[in-house]
Structure 1
Amino acid sequence: MKFSIASIFSTVAAALTIFSTVQAAAVPTPVEVQKRAIEGINNYACKLTPAHPRPLLLVHGTTLTLDSWSTWAPLLIEEGYCVFGLTYGKYKDIPLLGGIAPIEDNAQEVANFANNVLTRMNATQLDYIGHSQGGILGRYWIKYLDGAGKINRMIGVAPIHHGTTLSGITTFATALHLLNPSQPLFDAVAPALYQMIVGSPFMQKLNAGGDTSPGVIHSNIATRYDEIVTPWETCYQDAPGVTNTLLQNLCLLSLNEHITIINSKIALRWTLNQLDPSTAKTANCLSVF
């Protein structure tokens, strides 16, 4: 069976459109960003306490920005955490979208920011919450940059630990021998997208030798309705001591998918329990109140 160049690019364009449209739906306009500024974040005057002895870093997902934490960050700050975050991964002046540059560059950007937080807060370690791509940048920082020993707890919220089939699109494209020829298109628009496909060279490098880091307390929460990181089980890490949780096991009624999981107060309650097990409260459907 033969395929024209037009058919190849139309298939790839469709995949990119689905990926970008679903994620970009959560990207706010400049007016919304202004209205939803996160009060209290990146406050270097915040005092670390015995109850919360480490800075807390929030790392957003692909095509999103720091603003995607506008639900969780204020509540974490209210709980007494010194919360920090950034928008990383801008690429070729594409407006509003973060996390689309090469993942190695994104990880370095996060590493530079985190190192600055540690220095200015006079801390040796931080705790880390990463959504989607944000869930793996800390791992890359530890494994291939200078992050060893600098993360105490790493919590993944629908993290892309093992890549994605993008609801089967990449599997279909691979079967038709369309995926590899599409890489130049991905690289021209948003290199990070191709790197997150199941079996990509980046994913192989990231998980070589295991998908956890010594000394780090790993936790992950996934949603059954994830349409971006698929199958949803790829959000999990397979190693002794890792806590892997499905949102719908906490509340069967939760319909949150890949983007809206970071608006879920059930997922937030679970995350607070991971950050400080000594103050854990049951995470269930009542956590929304």
Structure 2
Amino acid sequence: MKFSIAFVLSTAAAALTIFSSVQAAAIPTPVEIQKRDIEGLNNYACKLTPAHPRPLLLVHGTALDVSAWSTWAPLLIKEGYCVFGQTYGKYKNIPLLAAIAPIEDSAQEVANFANDVLTRMNATQLDYIGHSQGGILGRYWIKYLDGAGKINRMIGVSPIQHGTTLDGVTTLASALHILKSGQPLLDSVAPALYQMIVGSPFMQKLNAGGDTSPGVIQSNIATRYDEVVTPWKTCYQDAPGVTNTLLQDLCPIALNEHLAIIYSKIALRWALNQLDPSTAKTANCLSVF
């Protein structure tokens, strides 16, 4: 088969345009990262519909706050979801960071907020999207608080389901017998950090008896370039019926890492497909447009 020079050049130009658009959408700009209010979030006048019969709770990750959802939340609201979210997990005298308090306390905060949403929206269940640490607070709510039966779908976005080695740092520190000696310092500043290490007492408790809960439809998306939750496959849950997806299987040229994945419209399209499979559209590199 012969190709004209014009055809080759136009094809290359199209590929370059797609690549540039994907990468532009993959990494948040300073304007995107800055904290700002999200219009339509926590709107208790929002009407649940047959198409979207449950409130949707967004739970941010460690050291972030609710403004981390400034890309996803407006688009989910535009799709007709009643979207809710809060900033949780502030600790002692560190006002600039959230989600660093003991995870049990953060889970209780999320539980209290979620229960209030259910009551005020006159709903018995909600759907749940959690990023990083946010991906496990709902699990703790279900297993150890009063959350059993209250979550219909739980979607993890780079969730820290089984803890992290921080690219092997914690493994090395443990081998050098300095990991435990550093715990008091971590606990005095941000107790959640030590709790998220692979093999910590908290992670053992969270996953005791299995890492899924009966009746909850669970999905996870990970990125190969995750530098926070490592190895990245620890984002997955190993149980029948769980959907585990790698972002780069949807779009090989997506470079989103742990933070940037919540700014990815490809990951968002995948999440929308999990929320409502009946209206699913292909999630791929073209989802950025």
The 5-angstrom pairing of residues 235-254 of structure 1 reads: 235-254=235-254
Equivalent residue, structure 1, for 2:48: 48
Q: Which sections of structure 2, spanning at least 5 residues, go unmatched? A: 1-27
Distance of 2:34 and 2:181 partners within structure 1 = 38
Report the residue type matching 1:198 in the other structure.
V
TM-score under structure 1 length normalisation: 0.89
The 5-angstrom pairing of residues 1-289 of structure 1 reads: 32-33=34-35, 36-289=36-289
Deviation, 1:96, is 2.1
Q: CA RMSD in A?
A: 1.6
Q: How many equivalent residue pairs?
A: 262
Report the residue type matching 1:187 in the other structure.
D
Q: Which sections of structure 1, spanning at least 5 residues, go unmatched? A: 1-25
Deviation, 1:207, is 0.2
Question: Is the 1:265–1:288 Cα contact (8 Å) retained in structure 2?
Answer: yes
SS in 1 for 2:220: strand
Q: Deviations over 1:34-84 (max 9, x none)?
A: xx3100000000000000000000000000000000000000000000000
Question: Between Structure 1 and Structure 2, whose CA radius of gyration is higher?
Answer: 2
Report the residue type matching 1:92 in the other structure.
K
Distance of 1:107 and 1:78 partners within structure 2 = 28
Q: Deviations over 1:15-34 (max 9, x none)?
A: xxxxxxxxxxx8x89x942x
SS in 2 for 1:219: strand
Distance of 1:281 and 1:225 partners within structure 2 = 25
SS in 1 for 2:249: helix
If asked which structure has higher relative contact order (CA below 8 Å, sep 6+), I would say 2
Q: Which ranges of 4 or more aligned residues in structure 1 deviate by more than 6 Å?
A: none
Deviation, 1:151, is 0.0
Q: Deviations over 1:102-131 (max 9, x none)?
A: 000000000000000000000000000000
Question: Is the 1:156–1:221 Cα contact (8 Å) retained in structure 2?
Answer: yes
Deviation, 1:247, is 0.1
Q: 1:32 to 1:261 in 2, by over 3 A?
A: closer
Question: Is the 1:65–1:96 Cα contact (8 Å) retained in structure 2?
Answer: no
